[in-house]
Structure 1
Amino acid sequence: MSTKNIIRILLVVGTITSLYFVPWPIVKAWAKPLPDTVQEQVNEAIDMGFDGIIVYIDLGRKQPAYFAAGYKNRENKIPADPHALFKIASLGKLYNALTIAKLVRNHKLSLDKTLADYLPDLVGRIEYADEITLRMMVQHRSGIPNYTDTFNYWVAPKETNVEKLTLVLDLPASFKPDKDYEYSNTNYLLLSRIMDTVLGYNSFQYIMEDILMPLNLANTFGSINDVIVDDVMSGYYVGYDSDLKTDNIGLILATAEDLGIFIRALNDGSVFKDKEEQEIYSSIYKYGHTGLIPGYQTIAKYHKDIDAVVIQFTNTVNFDGYNWNLSEVEYNRILKILRKKGLH
Structure 2
Amino acid sequence: MTTTTHRRRLTGLAGGAALAVTATIVPSAAAQEDDHAATQAALNQFQSIAGPGAAVYAGDADEVWTLSAGTAKFGENRPITEADHFRIGSQTKTFTAAVVLQLVEEGSVELDAPIETYLPRVVTGNYDGNAITVRQLLQHTSGLARTGNGAKAGPDGTYALAELVRAVMDEPPVGAPGEKSVYSNAGYLVLGMLIEQITGQYAGDAITQRIIQPLGLPGTSFPRPGERALAQPFVHGYTGGRIPPFYLWIDRTTAVELSMYSTTGAMASTLADSAAFFRALADGEVVSEASLAEMRKTVPGGIGGVGLGINEIPLSCGGTFLAKNGAVETGHVSTTGVTDDGRFASVVTNTFSTVAAEQSFEVLDAALCE
Match of 2:12 in 1: none
Counting matched residue pairs gives 291
Identity of aligned residues (%): 23
Alpha-carbon separation, structure 1, partners of 2:136 and 2:127: 14
Match of 1:265 in 2: 280
Bigger shift: 91-100 or 159-168?
159-168
Q: Is 2:56 the partner of 1:55?
A: yes
> Given residue 327 of structure 1, which amino acid in structure 2 is its aligned partner?
S
Q: How does 1:1-344 map to 2 (within 5 A)?
A: 36-38=34-36, 40-41=40-41, 42-43=43-44, 45-60=46-61, 62-122=62-122, 124-147=124-147, 160=159, 161-223=161-223, 225=227, 228-239=230-241, 241-246=249-254, 247-249=256-258, 250=262, 251-272=266-287, 274-283=288-297, 285=308, 286=310, 287-294=322-329, 295-304=331-340, 307-319=342-354, 321=355, 323-336=356-369, 338=370
Alpha-carbon separation, structure 2, partners of 1:88 and 1:146: 18
Helix, strand or coil at the partner of 2:252: coil
Bigger shift: 40-49 or 119-128?
40-49
Where does the alignment leave 5 or more consecutive residues of structure 2 unmatched?
Answer: 1-32, 151-156, 242-247, 298-306, 311-321
Question: Residues 262 and 175 of structure 1: is their aligned pair in 2 closer, same or farther, counting only changes over 3 Å?
Answer: same
Question: Residues 124 and 189 of structure 1: is their aligned pair in 2 closer, same or farther, counting only changes over 3 Å?
Answer: closer
Helix, strand or coil at the partner of 1:231: coil
Question: Residues 79 and 197 of structure 1: is their aligned pair in 2 closer, same or farther, counting only changes over 3 Å?
Answer: same
Residues 14-36 of structure 1, C-alpha deviations (whole Å, 9 max, x = no match): xxxxxxxxxxxxxxxxxxxxx63
> Given residue 278 of structure 2, which amino acid in structure 1 is its aligned partner?
I
The offset of 1:106, in angstroms, is 0.4
Question: Residues 279 and 44 of structure 1: is their aligned pair in 2 closer, same or farther, counting only changes over 3 Å?
Answer: closer
Question: Residues 238 and 328 of structure 1: is their aligned pair in 2 closer, same or farther, counting only changes over 3 Å?
Answer: farther
The offset of 1:189, in angstroms, is 0.3
**TM-score (norm: length of structure 2):** 0.70
The question of whether the paired residues in 2 share the 8 Å contact of 1:238 and 1:318 is answered with no
The offset of 1:111, in angstroms, is 1.6
Question: Residues 159 and 327 of structure 1: is their aligned pair in 2 closer, same or farther, counting only changes over 3 Å?
Answer: farther
Bigger shift: 187-196 or 294-303?
294-303
The question of whether the paired residues in 1 share the 8 Å contact of 2:162 and 2:193 is answered with no
> Given residue 253 of structure 1, which amino acid in structure 2 is its aligned partner?
A
The offset of 1:159, in angstroms, is 5.2
Helix, strand or coil at the partner of 2:71: strand
The question of whether the paired residues in 1 share the 8 Å contact of 2:50 and 2:350 is answered with no
Name which one, 1 or 2, has greater alpha-carbon Rg.
1
Helix, strand or coil at the partner of 1:210: helix
The question of whether the paired residues in 1 share the 8 Å contact of 2:239 and 2:352 is answered with yes
Helix, strand or coil at the partner of 1:64: strand
Where does the alignment leave 5 or more consecutive residues of structure 1 unmatched?
Answer: 1-34, 152-157, 339-344
The offset of 1:206, in angstroms, is 2.2
The offset of 1:276, in angstroms, is 4.0
The offset of 1:58, in angstroms, is 2.7
The CA RMSD measured in Å over matched residues stands at 2.7
The question of whether the paired residues in 1 share the 8 Å contact of 2:124 and 2:169 is answered with no
Residues 94-145 of structure 1, C-alpha deviations (whole Å, 9 max, x = no match): 1111111110110111222222222223254241222111111111111011
Bigger shift: 280-289 or 214-223?
280-289
**TM-score (norm: length of structure 1):** 0.75
Alpha-carbon separation, structure 2, partners of 1:103 and 1:49: 38
Alpha-carbon separation, structure 2, partners of 1:49 and 1:172: 33
Question: Residues 229 and 270 of structure 1: is their aligned pair in 2 closer, same or farther, counting only changes over 3 Å?
Answer: closer
More strand by share: 2
Alpha-carbon separation, structure 2, partners of 1:127 and 1:116: 11
> Given residue 55 of structure 1, which amino acid in structure 2 is its aligned partner?
V
Alpha-carbon separation, structure 1, partners of 2:216 and 2:50: 35
